[in-house]
């Protein structure tokens, strides 16, 4: 085991915890520094999920993906800042302060994996891992001008990921270029018997720039109301670049898109309500004066430990699952989810890849999104892939007002390699 000194100039608050002297071994990632999102368990290293309620929690085990990285010789450099329990699109909802966008410190880096993306974009680490429930890898990748992949659901083990919404979220890689992302992903993907959703589909692909004959669908629904016209123009030019490399693109439609955002938030908050019930104020959380009743103690503990956004989503999820409302909200959301899956299945009979903007706009200013609903709407283009469980990738495709724009590529289940090839072809041509 070799040692590496790690003392980053973290002016963007990308890390919650850093490891001054990191260890690494031999393997395909020997000496590569990797930052780990702070909702992924690391043995002997504090893991907080960006929340006060887990401050001081030191896991006794590594997440499966962390074990794989270590076995491949990677150097785990530290734990990155994030929206508390993954709930947010800006990394402003952290108990440890907001992360700043390395390209403009007045703007957000995106979220919830904003710390991981910022650490890569700022050059503090070679690459990073994050988690994506409704766009939480692709959003910060787009805002920070790097590459981020939400893998096919089940292809990367979720063992050791502190759950927000189990049926939607997936661990995935972030890197400055497609080749590095592909190397990282080749180590992460594979079967894990400890994860009941894990599938035996390892990844051992080398990126190819040959995309002749690739059929690209460009849904009009992803370029409509709320999408910055300059962002849309930039993405359409990127699609034209892919056409110049031999791909064929044509417009198409994803009608269920209008239900996707609502369905995703009903499902995710419902699952969060169940998952976060374990944080009951007895085993985790800051010390408080004991009130008169256990009910009061539980309430006060949660207020002291959970931030406002987490409490809001727990309440929304509890309401959706309540007797009398289950059929009205949660059941309808699952029906809408199936509609999204069916729409993707239909599109993938005619197209190999779906192309769209990753985000409706460039990175917004810190403090600009004061209305929670406005923040939720920023996920409108990324949530369909999570509902369907299909792979989706964001690759930088240009700039608007000096800030990066992401091209989102969505593919069939287990055709992550096709997305990586498409992104690689574009990247090679754009350099």
Query: Domain holding 374: CATH number?
Result: 3.90.1300.10
Q: What is the DSSP string of 296-318?
A: HHHHHHHHHHS-HHHHHHHHHHH
Per-residue pLDDT, 311? 94
Rg (C-alpha) for the chain, rounded Å, is: 20
Sign of CA dihedral 225, 228, 230, 232: negative
Give me the tens of pLDDT residue by residue for the chain, a chain 431 residues long.
899 899 999 999 999 999 999 999 999 999 999 999 999 999 999 999 999 999 999 999 999 999 999 999 999 999 999 999 999 999 999 999 999 999 999 999 999 999 999 999 999 999 999 999 999 999 999 999 999 999 999 999 999 999 999 999 999 999 999 999 999 999 999 999 999 999 999 999 999 999 999 999 999 999 999 999 999 999 999 999 999 999 999 999 999 999 999 999 999 999 999 999 888 665 566 655 555 554 454 455 556 689 999 999 999 999 998 878 888 899 999 999 999 999 999 999 999 999 999 999 999 999 999 899 999 999 999 999 999 999 999 999 999 999 999 999 999 999 999 999 999 999 999 97
* Residue-range definition of the domain harbouring residue 182: 1-431
Helices 229-244 & 416-430 angle (0-180, nearest 10): 90
Per-residue pLDDT, 279? 83
Q: How far is CA 316 from CA 198, 223, 350, in A?
A: 29, 29, 38
Q: How far is CA 362 from CA 97, 104, 125, 358, in A?
A: 21, 11, 24, 10
Per-residue pLDDT, 327? 86
Per-residue pLDDT, 302? 56
Per-residue pLDDT, 32? 98
Strands 170-175 and 147-150: antiparallel
Bond preceding residue 151 cis, omega within 30 of 0: no
C-alpha to C-alpha distance for 199 and 286, rounded to whole angstroms: 38
The count of domains in the chain is 1
Q: How far is CA 1 from CA 5, 73, 318, in A?
A: 14, 9, 48
The four Cα atoms 111, 113, 114, 120 give a dihedral, to 10 degrees, of: -150
Active site positions, annotated: 37, 112, 136
- Helix count (H) and strand count (E) of the chain? 12, 13
Q: Report the 10 Å Cβ neighbour count for 179.
A: 16
Per-residue pLDDT, 204? 97
Tokens matching residue 242 = 């892919």
Per-residue pLDDT, 297? 47
Strand order in the sheet with 353-357: 15-18, 75-80, 33-37, 127-132, 170-175, 147-150, 392-400, 403-411, 353-357, 215-219, 248-252
- For the entire predicted model, the pTM comes to 0.95
Q: How far is CA 67 from CA 71, 74, 148, 256, in A?
A: 6, 10, 21, 39
Per-residue pLDDT, 368? 96
């Amino acid at each position: 085991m070799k040692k590496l000194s790690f003392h980053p100039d973290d002016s963007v608050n990308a890390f919650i915890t850093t490891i001054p002297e990191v260890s690494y071994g031999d393997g395909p990632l020997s000496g590569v520094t990797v930052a780990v999102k702070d909702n992924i368990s690391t043995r002997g290293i504090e893991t907080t999920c960006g929340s006060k309620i887990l401050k001081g929690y030191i896991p006794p085990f590594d997440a499966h993906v962390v074990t794989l990285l270590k076995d491949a010789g990677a150097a785990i450099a530290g734990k990155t800042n994030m929206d508390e329990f993954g709930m947010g699109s800006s990394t402003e909802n952290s108990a440890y302060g907001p992360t700043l966008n390395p390209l403009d410190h007045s703007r957000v880096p995106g979220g919830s994996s904003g710390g991981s993306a910022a650490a890569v974009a700022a050059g503090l680490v070679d690459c990073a891992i994050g988690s994506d429930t409704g766009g939480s890898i692709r959003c910060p990748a787009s805002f920070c001008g790097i590459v981020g992949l939400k893998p096919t659901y089940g292809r990367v083990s979720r063992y050791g990921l502190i759950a927000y919404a189990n049926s939607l979220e997936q661990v995935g890689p972030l890197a400055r270029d497609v080749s590095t992302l592909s190397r990282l992903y080749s180590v992460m993907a594979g079967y894990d018997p400890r994860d009941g959703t894990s599938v035996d589909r390892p990844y051992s692909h080398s990126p190819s720039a040959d995309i002749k004959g690739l059929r690209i669908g460009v849904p009009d629904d992803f370029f409509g109301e709320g999408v910055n016209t300059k962002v849309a123009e930039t993405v359409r030019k990127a699609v034209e670049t892919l056409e110049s490399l031999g791909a064929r693109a044509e417009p198409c439609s994803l009608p269920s898109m209008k239900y996707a955002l609502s369905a995703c938030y009903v499902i995710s908050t419902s699952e969060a309500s169940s998952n976060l019930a374990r944080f009951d104020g007895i085993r985790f959380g800051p010390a408080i004066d004991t009130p008169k009743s256990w009910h009061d103690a539980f309430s006060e503990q949660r207020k002291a430990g959970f931030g406002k956004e987490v409490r809001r989503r727990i309440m929304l999820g509890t309401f959706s699952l309540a007797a009398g409302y289950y059929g009205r909200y949660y059941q309808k959301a699952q029906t809408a989810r199936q509609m999204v899956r069916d729409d993707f299945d239909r599109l993938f009979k005619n197209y190999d890849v779906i192309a769209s903007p990753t985000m409706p706009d460039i990175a917004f200013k810190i403090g600009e999104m004061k209305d929670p609903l406005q923040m939720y709407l920023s996920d409108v283009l990324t949530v369909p892939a999570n509902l369907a469980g299909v792979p989706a990738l964001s690759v930088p495709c240009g700039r608007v007002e000096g800030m990066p724009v992401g091209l989102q590529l969505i593919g069939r289940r287990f055709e992550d390699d096709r997305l990586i090839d498409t992104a690689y072809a574009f990247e090679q041509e754009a350099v």
